[in-house]
Every structure is written in C-alpha cells, then in structure tokens.
Amino acid sequence: MRNLTDQLTQYAEYHRDTRNIATHFVGIPMIVLALAVLLSRPVLSSTPALAAVPFSPAWLLFGASTLYYLVLDVPLGLMMAVVAALCLTIGAWLSQQGTAVWLAAGVGLFVVGWVFQFVGHVAYEHRKPAFVDDLVGLIVGPVFVLAEVLFSLGWRPALHAAIEAKAGPTRINPPRAHAAR
C-alpha cells in the first residue's frame, strides 16, 4: 500500500489548478454527505445506546474508510473520523425524515456534488478526474480536501512541501492554454 505522501501526491497531480481544487472543496463534501444520507437506509440494527445514529450500510462505508485513513496517517485519520461521525449523524437524521426529504437530500447532494467535480475538471483543470485512472482516488478525495484545508492553516509543512515538490505547484491555468498542450 502506498503511504500518505504517495497517495496525496498522486491525487494532487490531477488537481493543480486552484479553481478546480476550490470546486472540490464544495463537491467532495456534498458527495460524502450524500453517501451518508443515502446509505443510512435501511437500518441494519438499532440499539438503545446508539438510537441517535442507527447502524446502517453508511456505518460500513464510513467505518472502512476511516480505518483506511488511520492506516495512512493516525492524526489525519482521527480528523477524518470526526468528519465521518458528523456525516453519519446528519445522514441518520435525514434518513429518518420522510422518503421525499431523504431522497431529495441524498440525490440532490450527490448530483450537485458531482456537477462541481466535473465543472472543475472540464472548465479549469482540463484533465480527467483521478479516479478514472485509479479508483483509489474515490477514497483519497475526501482526505485530500481535509489535508488541503489543514495545509492552508500551516499543518505539517514538510508533508505539504513534499507533495508540492512531486506534483508541482498549484496554479491558475488560462482556460484554453492548458487544453492545447
């Protein structure tokens, strides 16, 4: 398994335009939350101690993802666990609403999130999304967004520098200049 630096570097290579990265700051959280909402039905079991957040397929996805993030990097994995818990709580709440609300929220977040993703890649990056070449990009995307936020706050500058050294600096591409290459 590739380490955190390798995973984030490979993902970053597909995301060098700052405007595309910005679309991912909106799109990826929407998609992640949509998965929590949509997978919070059906409830597999509900115990009184965990009645606020019933056990569902969402728990399986977010639990497995969190374990993967913890294996990559414990501090970042713990932060992703907090994000997962928040998504699971919101997803469980929305899944307990009427079917129309649950589906509108889940499908709406999912579709709009993917629109943001593809607009970023088509209009700004002029490159296909990372997951097209490697499906692992689907699980790395959320941790990439969190890492980018943390890097902007000064978190782990050596890791950020290592990724930038391998992937190259972020930039703003002219709309057609990059596509002509």
Percent of the chain with pLDDT over 70: 89
CA-nearest of 79, 89, 59 to 145 is 79
| Range 172-178 average pLDDT | 55
| Range 48-70 average pLDDT | 83
Coil, helix or strand at residue 153: coil
Q: Which backbone phi and psi does 150 adopt, to 5 degrees?
A: -65, -40
Please report, for the chain, the start and end positions of each structural domain, with discontinuous segments joined by +. 4-167
Query: What pTM was computed for the model?
Result: 0.86
Q: Which tens digit of pLDDT belongs to each residue from 23-46?
A: 999 999 999 999 999 999 887 765
Q: What confidence score (pLDDT) does residue 151 get?
A: 94
**Taking 50 as the threshold, does the pLDDT of residue 178 lie above it?**
no
Q: Which tens digit of pLDDT belongs to each residue from 95-141?
A: 999 999 999 999 999 999 999 999 988 888 878 777 777 778 789 99
Give the separation between CA 146 and CA 26, rounded to whole angstroms. Answer: 12
CA-nearest of 149, 123, 153 to 20 is 123
The mean predicted confidence, pLDDT, of the chain is: 88
